[in-house]
A = this chain, B = another copy of it.
């Protein structure tokens, strides 16, 4: 028997700690990203975790030949840390010796060490395991992680409890045809389109809950805005009197999360040339007002071009790149959405549009059992099929509401991408199931 100590032993220095070792000889590990060789001298760019490290090879001081190195080789370098103001990280490494840990089998078919990966979106995604190694491509997902972390931090400060709800479900929350079916030991089941039923149920248990987890939509349209599996940031809270409180919460949350990203990912944001909005407040406009502003024909929803133009108009008028649209028609919103007390043909609901596209859907829900059942009956729904969902209402549920935010869409818009796939690690669409 041996004994595993909780002290983590590390035989190499991590990139984040390196600034403390200026003037010292250290062992650093990474992968060769790029080699620029001159006569007897070379720059070797090492790809480490989330940063690139410039290593300087000089045949006079190194005990190996630079010809031994090739791109995508993993190694540990022993060398001297030298302050260098030209370097982004403030220092570089003078190479003394190397230990090669791993050698690639093949030259990559796509160059990943350039500023950008010069290829089509389709190849970018086909070769995702490789192309993600590009500095800009991977920066997208460092930003995405920080964005989710900022949101999580805000929610935890506001005492939302994280929950984990099932993705294999017996019924569909959003209705419609775009649901994936599967066989569950002989019973037909579905992949959850959202954690809607469960998060509402949990309002009756813990009052404020959130979940950041995959949701599934069998969307047959191959557009730049849709993917068939995405990460949904879902939250739900009790004792909401007016659905404006939900928009306030989202405003505060995005204000916090965007500032969090700006602070923690300054390098990645600069690298990607993105602009992170500072949010103090967000304008809100009703759906009817928005349609009027657009001089658009009435309808249940916006066309994608209308969403885009609305954002442009609001930006010109207010300087805000975000806008809430409220009071969507009752006919368009799911059966659990609360109707407006003064005008039941519209709902106490909202979408948030950001740089031309919807990134959030939210609203107040129906909390009263009889009101909900009557509405379902009116819509011709089979109330019995929803018995386990309605249990929460039946035994008492406070007034509540919540929202769902698409993490990939939010990341894409934050970084100025037109296609949500650019901000999806391994996207799934009607034509794509790998990698």
Contact = CB atoms under 8 A, between A and B. Distances in A.
Nearest to A370: B105
A119 B12 CA distance: 55
Interface string A14-49: 101000000000000101000000000000000011
A130 interface: yes
Nearest to A105: B369
- The A contact surface, by secondary structure, is mixed
Contacts of A248: 4-9
A363 to B, nearest CB: 14
Interface in A174-201: 180-185, 187, 189, 191, 198, 201
A225 interface: no
A204 B191 CA distance: 30
A428 B166 contact: yes
A349 interface: no
A370 B389 CA distance: 52
Contact of A201 (B129, B216, B231, B428): B129
Contacts of A166: 214, 229, 425-428
A418 interface: no
Interface of A: 1-12, 14, 16, 29, 31, 48-50, 72-74, 76, 101-106, 108, 127, 129-130, 132-133, 138, 141-142, 144-145, 148-149, 152, 156, 159, 161-170, 180-185, 187, 189, 191, 198, 201-202, 204-208, 213-214, 216, 218, 220, 228-229, 231, 238-239, 241, 244-245, 247-249, 251-252, 255, 279-285, 289, 317-318, 324, 367-370, 388-389, 391-399, 407, 425-428, 430, 433-435
17 contacts: A1-B284, A3-B281, A10-B245, A11-B241, A31-B396, A74-B239, A102-B397, A103-B368, A130-B391, A133-B204, A149-B156, A152-B152, A164-B425, A166-B229, A168-B180, A388-B434, A389-B435
